[in-house]
């Protein structure tokens, strides 16, 4: 084994033996802080729900505006499109 | 957890935090040396656990799910720490320098008082690596987890864990060598 690897191995062995403080009890008020943070932070599902509900009138308005601007030509286009389809022979 | 999920009852939430705090804090402490960050990460772990409670499957144990959340948060924390500069001999305290010197001796000669310093130096060396490299090495070497366990915890494939560990070890070796070269 390379000497650097050997030294790293020794250091890792010793690091593993280090005694870490025992966290048997949570700090005072820890659970209260966690629960108040949970209540403060809205969850992502409700954010998406709010966003989708808020975007509904916007989408409806945009659709009506589009229909109003281009709606006059639309039936004619659809007819032309249908006619062109009908004229295409489907079978040889 | 089941009771929290169904009713959002704060009493069951508090009981869950009290019961699982030792597990979460010990896990975070093994990866993060900064005392302030440990409590904050433990807190974030529980907040995420409660807000994503609907994703936990009651037929599976809670600990691995919580561990995964905590490790992801630790990884995000390492990513946010942009102090990945090279570690120099003069950055080490006297005891940390002694711990470095003691690695050249056989393990039986090393005083036990240097174990904590060895851990600090190792964590400081790991801090010079990327978040993913740091995570895989500390899981593998400090926590003695198997490749399968790491794959389960991180969501990586076994092959990726092995490749990442190999490359990360190489980088750690380089960081150790560089640190030795800055010794006066």
Q: What is the ipTM score, two decimals?
A: 0.77
CA pair distance B164, B126, nearest whole angstrom: 14
| Residue-by-residue pLDDT tens, chain B, 184 positions | 666 666 667 777 888 888 888 889 888 888 887 878 888 999 999 998 888 887 877 778 888 889 999 999 998 898 887 666 778 888 888 888 888 888 877 655 556 678 888 888 998 899 888 889 988 998 998 888 899 999 988 888 999 999 999 999 999 999 999 988 888 8
Q: Where are the domains of chain B?
A: 1-81, 86-184
Q: Is A21–B118 a contact, with Cβ atoms under 8 angstroms apart? A: no
Q: Is B144–A16 a contact, with Cβ atoms under 8 angstroms apart? A: yes
Cα-based distances in Å from B63 to B66, B75, B113: 5, 18, 32
Among B13, B122, B176, beta carbon nearest to A35? B13
Q: CA of A83, closest CA in chain B: separation in Å?
A: 52
Q: What does the pLDDT read at residue A54?
A: 79
Cα angle: B165, vertex B171, B173; to 5 degrees: 100
Is the minimum CB–CB distance between A76 and chain B shorter than 8 Å? no
Q: Is B173–A24 a contact, with Cβ atoms under 8 angstroms apart? A: no
Is the minimum CB–CB distance between B55 and chain A shorter than 8 Å? no
- CB-based burial label for B180 (10 Å; 0-12, 13-18, 19+): middle
Q: Is B14–A35 a contact, with Cβ atoms under 8 angstroms apart? A: yes
The domain made up of B86-184 is a member of CATH 3.40.50.2000: no
Look up residue A85 and give its DSSP letter: H
Cα-based distances in Å from B127 to A49, A78, B39, B43, B155: 40, 65, 19, 22, 22
Q: Rounded to the nearest 5°, which phi and psi values hold at A15?
A: -60, -35
CA pair distance B124, B182, nearest whole angstrom: 15
Q: Is B176–A37 a contact, with Cβ atoms under 8 angstroms apart? A: no
Task: Determine contact, residues B73/B67, Cβ cutoff 8 Å.
Answer: no
Task: Determine contact, residues A34/B46, Cβ cutoff 8 Å.
Answer: yes
Is the minimum CB–CB distance between A63 and chain B shorter than 8 Å? no
CA pair distance B32, B85, nearest whole angstrom: 17
Q: Tokens 């130096």 belong to which residue?
A: B121
Class level of CATH domain B1-81:
mainly alpha
Q: Is B17–A26 a contact, with Cβ atoms under 8 angstroms apart? A: yes
Q: CA of B50, closest CA in chain A: separation in Å?
A: 7
- pLDDT tens digits for range B2-50: 666 666 677 778 888 888 888 898 888 888 878 788 889 999 999 988 8
Chain A residues closer than 8 Å to B14 by CB: 31-32, 35
């Amino acid at each position: 084994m390379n000497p650097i690897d050997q030294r790293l191995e020794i250091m890792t062995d010793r690091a593993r033996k280090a005694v870490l403080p025992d966290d048997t009890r949570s700090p005072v008020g820890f659970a209260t802080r966690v629960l108040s943070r949970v209540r403060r932070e809205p969850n992502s599902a409700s954010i998406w729900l709010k966003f989708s509900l808020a975007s509904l009138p916007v989408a409806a308005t945009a659709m009506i505006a589009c229909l109003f601007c281009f709606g006059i030509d639309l039936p004619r286009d659809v007819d032309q499109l249908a006619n062109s389809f009908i004229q295409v022979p489907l079978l040889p | 957890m089941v009771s929290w999920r169904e009713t959002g009852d704060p009493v069951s939430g508090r009981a869950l935090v009290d019961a699982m705090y030792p597990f979460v804090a010990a896990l975070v402490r093994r990866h993060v040396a900064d005392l302030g960050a440990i409590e904050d990460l433990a807190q974030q772990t529980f907040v995420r656990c409660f807000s994503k409670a609907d994703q936990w499957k009651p037929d599976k144990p809670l600990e691995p799910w919580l561990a995964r959340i905590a490790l992801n948060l630790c990884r995000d924390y390492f990513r946010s720490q942009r102090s990945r500069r090279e570690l120099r001999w003069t950055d080490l305290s006297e005891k940390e320098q002694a711990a470095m010197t003691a690695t050249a001796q056989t393990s039986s000669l090393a005083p036990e008082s240097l174990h904590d310093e060895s851990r600090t130096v190792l964590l400081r060396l790991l801090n010079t690596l990327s978040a993913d490299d740091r995570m895989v090495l500390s899981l593998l070497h400090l926590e003695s987890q198997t490749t399968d366990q790491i794959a389960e915890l991180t969501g990586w494939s076994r092959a990726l864990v092995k490749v990442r560990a190999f490359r990360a070890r190489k980088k750690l070796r380089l960081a150790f060598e560089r640190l030795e070269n800055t010794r006066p």
